[in-house]
Amino acid sequence: MSHEPALTFTPEGIYCPAGDFYIDPWRRVDRALITHGHSDHARWGMGRYLATHDALPVIRHRLGDIDAEGIAYGEQRQIGGATVSFHPAGHVPGSAQIRIEVRGEVWVASGDYKIIDDGLSTPFEPLRCHHFITESTFGLPVFKWQPQDVVAAEINGWWQGCVEEGKTAMLGAYSLGKAQRLLSMLDPAIGPILCHKAIENTNQVMRDQGITLPHTILADKDVNGKTHPGAMVLAPPSALGSAWAKKFGPQESGFASGWMAMRGVRRRRGGDRGFVISDHADWDGLLSAVKQTGAENIYVTHGYTDIFARYLNDCGWNAEVVPTQFEGENLDTSDESEVAS
């Protein structure tokens, strides 16, 4: 006898009929299970939220007074007729894949993920399932990430060069996840590390929950290139080139993003340097994650969806594109979490 699938794709978001909940919904619903705190996945206005204990502090910081409950990685929760558990996605601290089992049918909604261990987020956990919902933000073979220590050496070398030339190094990165990962890669012996308010606020939220980050200084109105010569300044991409940025005097700007692998994007952004680093899986990472699930059915939600789904179909999977409002990593729009106070 045929039955309704454990998950369906609706105008409100990814829906579980057996449990009457949604995963990362983009319209207001009563019950939302949230993979992580980026604004395209955790939106304001839901009746109830469920997320990992490590993700909740940033979600509360961004969304304010919400009805939210935490859950541990691997903890099973029965919600209606669905058995639910959250598992590490390796994307940013607290990020999760959500496993749903209904009548023996297992789905995994992976949210955003990367399979390498960045030393900050809980590492990605492969999950066996029948149906796998995956992103494809960087679903082209051209995207292949270098080891993190190689990129760290590039960034610190650039910063040291700026110091020697009497310039401030201004590095653009998302305020949640990417900025803290970069902080863990910087060499504090080179100079002081200054952070835009949006980033420093997120740093403090993470420090308060026990995540270790190097010493940083809030780049407020009294901090500039003269008070802190030789500094590295971390700021949201939207802040680079602004009146706020100009107070740091002679400077070089850089962008840290997977999109820096494409020369056209580097030229269009107009920064002095581009560093190829992402909190999303590259082409090989996406394929590895899909293979490890053992799933026959793959649903591709955002990024290079058509190309990635076509490749998967050519390789023998049953893959289809599912339109969503998830964005992945996008340097041309400002993540709401960057401007959270």
pLDDT category, 335, cuts 50, 70, 90? very low
Q: What is the mean pLDDT of residues 129-155?
A: 97
CA distances from 157 to 46, 256, 299, 340 (A): 45, 14, 41, 31
- Read off the amino acid at residue 3: H
Q: Does 12 or 241 have the greater pLDDT score?
A: 12
Q: Tell me the per-residue pLDDT of 211-249, one tens digit each, with 9 for 90 and over.
A: 999 999 999 999 999 999 999 999 999 899 899 999 999
Mean pLDDT, all residues of the chain: 93
CATH C-level class of 8-142+279-339: alpha beta
Q: Tell me the per-residue pLDDT of 91-125, one tens digit each, with 9 for 90 and over.
A: 999 999 999 999 999 999 999 999 999 999 999 99
Q: Tell me the per-residue pLDDT of 118-135, one tens digit each, with 9 for 90 and over.
A: 999 999 999 999 999 999
CATH number of the domain located at residue range(s) 148-275 in this protein:
3.40.50.10710
- For residue 341, the model assigns a pLDDT of 26
The ranges assigned to domains in the chain are 8-142+279-339, 148-275
163 bridge partner residues: none
CA distances from 7 to 3, 17, 52, 337 (A): 11, 7, 20, 28
Angle (nearest 5°) at CA 166 between 163 and 171: 55
